[in-house]
């Protein structure tokens, strides 16, 4: 995920608004106590998500893939006064961890955590979303997009994380002679699907591991 030289990355983060105290604690505790901490959105991407949410002032946000709850807290910062964020995840082992950190944030009570498999939960959501953040299993990215598009208002946004997939979406990012693995192929298929969909406009941002911003026309 580290596409920038370390000194340049440090400069970028030094010129980005710092994390709040609850987010910094969640960041530290995720790295200290949870497996695969690289899945955390982190400082730079987290501030981008928060700023975008503040600009939109969404009433309803859907997050697919909670992990330890960092990105949910960031997105919740910009909610409208009557706003709510629904986040979906099938990992019950991290639910208490996420909830305990949300409880330390002034926006934590606006997060609605729902445990289960997203393909089963999404069709039952009777909501119109202003903003959707997809950050879950890559093999289902295209499915998640199909399930949520009709639930997003015209002019709403869908964001999809990890669309550069540690550089493996391009040949130079893959080990020589190695076949494309299933996750990489799923990301490639998703990126192509979005690029060719006439219902949306999109920009692939090289933020962290790649963030696809999709605008529903």
pTM attached to this predicted model: 0.95
150-198 confidence digits (pLDDT tens): 999 999 999 999 999 999 999 888 877 778 999 999 999 999 999 999 9
Q: What is the CA radius of gyration of the chain?
A: 17
Checking if the pLDDT of 125 tops 90, the result is yes
Q: Are residues 69 and 96 in contact, defined by beta-carbon separation less than 8 angstroms? A: no
- pLDDT of 173 reads 81
48-68 confidence digits (pLDDT tens): 999 999 999 999 999 999 999
Query: Binning pLDDT at 50, 70 and 90, where does residue 45 land?
Result: very high
The predicted model gives 26-48 an average pLDDT of 95
* Residue 21: partners with Cβ closer than 8 Å, 6 or more residues away: none
Checking if the pLDDT of 6 tops 80, the result is yes
Domains annotated on the chain, with CATH: 6-216 (3.40.50.150)
- pLDDT of 174 reads 83
Q: How many CA atoms lie within 13 A of 50 on its CB side?
A: 19
């Amino acid at each position: 995920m580290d596409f920038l030289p370390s000194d340049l990355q440090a400069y970028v983060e030094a010129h980005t608004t710092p994390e709040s105290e609850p987010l910094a604690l969640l960041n530290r505790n995720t790295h200290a106590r949870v497996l695969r901490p690289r899945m955390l959105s982190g400082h730079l991407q987290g501030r981008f998500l928060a700023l975008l949410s503040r600009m939109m002032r969404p009433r309803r946000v859907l997050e697919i893939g909670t992990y330890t709850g960092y990105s949910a807290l960031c997105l919740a910062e910009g909610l409208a006064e009557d706003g709510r964020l629904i986040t979906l995840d099938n990992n019950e082992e991290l639910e208490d961890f996420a909830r305990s950190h949300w409880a330390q944030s002034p926006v934590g009570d606006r997060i609605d955590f729902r445990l289960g498999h997203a393909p089963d939960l999404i069709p039952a959501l009777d909501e119109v979303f202003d903003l959707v953040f997809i950050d879950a299993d890559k093999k289902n990215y295209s499915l998640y997009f199909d399930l949520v598009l009709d639930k997003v208002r015209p002019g709403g946004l869908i964001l999809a994380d990890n669309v550069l997939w540690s550089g493996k979406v391009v040949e130079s990012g893959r080990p020589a002679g190695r076949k494309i693995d299933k996750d990489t192929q799923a990301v490639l298929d998703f990126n192509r699907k979005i690029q060719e969909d006439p219902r949306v406009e999109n920009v692939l941002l090289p933020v962290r591991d790649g963030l696809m911003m999709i605008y529903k026309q």
